[in-house]
Amino acid sequence: MKQNLYNYILGIADNSLILGQRMGALTGHGPSLETDIACTNISLDLFGQVRSYYQYAAKVAGDKRTEDDIAMLRHEREYLNVLLVEQPDTDFAYTMGRQFLFDVYHFLFLTELQKSKDLTLSAIATKSLKEVSYHQRFSTDWIKRLGDGTEESNKRMQTAIDDLWTYTDELFHQTDADKEMVAEGIGVDVTTLKEAYYQKVADVLQESTLTIPESKYFQKGGKQGIHTEHMGYLLAELQYMQRAYPNMEW
């Protein structure tokens, strides 16, 4: 088995899975009908994308593992998502802040992944990019609306951005699998996305009358399977059905 390729696929897929779970958990809990539908639609897109990734991962693994096993039956330390996507929905500003800070990255990442020498990954990237451009529009719109809204909404949006900022740098860390895949022309060199990312984020924050956080202290660990305290609870819910009724297919 190509371990590096397998890990590389999981690294991409787990981001979408965990964010998809977060957004899906808002079903029936969105602050308004329209935002509720939007969050669940974004979740559905992300889950659709991860199915393609996990199906491919199962093929690369080449053993008895199925897409369901890979998605649902790993332990916390085996999930390789960045810390950003597992952060909780403290309030709607956090939900949109998390989405926005990930969407900007996701869009840049998929744009590059389209050029991958791996045809399956490039096909998934091209497909997903169309959906992610809608996600990015939606979350950007909300950052502006809340940032440039009332005194209260501005304060909350700023708090969310300030809190989530510490998780942004990890997006641009390279794992060993990343380096290997970049060398083979399969993976994206995430370090090259950093400048465009912070520029885009700064532009939107500025337009939203929000302050760009100055903190240079960043958290990391998700890509190595070391997660924040929120991850266990999230997985308990995500994996409940598969643990209670083993061998279900999604």
Partner 1 sequence: MTTTEQNIDNILIPILEQVSDPEIPVLSIMDMGVVRSAVIENNMVKVQITPTYSGCPAMDVIGDDIKAALKEAGYQSEIELILAPAWTTDWITPRGRKALEDYGIAAPLGAEADKDVLLHGKRLVKCPQCGSTNTKMVSQFGSTACKAQFQCDDCQEPFDYFKCLK
Per CB under 8 A, residues contacting partner 1 are 33-34, 37-38, 41-42, 44-49, 51-52, 119-120, 122-124, 126-128, 130-131, 134, 137-138, 141
Beta strand spans in the chain (E): none
Whether the Cβ atoms of residue 44 and residue 23 lie closer than 8 Å to each other = no
- Cα three-residue angle 165-169-174, rounded to 5 degrees: 160
- Report the nearest approach of partner 1 to the CB of residue 127 (Å): 4
Nearer to partner 1, 129 or 212 (CB): 129
Dist. CA 183–CA 177, nearest whole Å:
10
Dist. CA 202–CA 198, nearest whole Å:
6
Dist. CA 87–CA 64, nearest whole Å:
32
- Report the nearest approach of partner 1 to the CB of residue 37 (Å): 5
- Report the nearest approach of partner 1 to the CB of residue 44 (Å): 4
Rounded to the nearest 10 degrees, how much is the dihedral formed by the CA atoms of 27, 32, 35, 37? 50
Helix, strand, coil content of the chain in percent (nearest 5): 70, 0, 30
Number of CB atoms found within 10 A of residue 144's CB: 18
- Report the nearest approach of partner 1 to the CB of residue 84 (Å): 21
- Report the nearest approach of partner 1 to the CB of residue 212 (Å): 23
Dist. CA 128–CA 116, nearest whole Å:
14
Q: End-to-end distance of the chain based on CA atoms, in angstroms?
A: 25
- Report the nearest approach of partner 1 to the CB of residue 30 (Å): 11
Nearer to partner 1, 30 or 88 (CB): 30
Record the tokens describing residue 209, joined without a space.
């009358």
